[in-house]
Amino acid sequence: MERMRKNLALAMVALLALTLALAAVGCAQKKAEEVTPAPVADTTSMMAPDTTVAPDTTVQQ
């Protein structure tokens, strides 16, 4: 029973290592293929921030 438990633990660790390796390789390939152009600043669509002050509606007695 002890040997089976040890083999199961080793198999799970090996599977975890394989999964992490495949994920790392997959993400590395995805980043290499991904080429994004530099963002173009569009200053005409930018609006000034709203600086108006709302009236105080709390009642103070």
Q: List per-residue pLDDT tens for the chain, 61 residues long.
A: 899 999 999 999 999 999 999 999 988 887 766 666 666 666 555 666 666 777 777 777 6
Distance (Å, whole) CA 61 – CA 53:
22
- The CA angle 38-41-46, to the nearest 5 degrees, is 150
What pLDDT is recorded for position 17? 97
Task: Read off φ and ψ for residue 22, nearest 5 degrees.
Answer: -65, -40
Global pTM reads 0.47
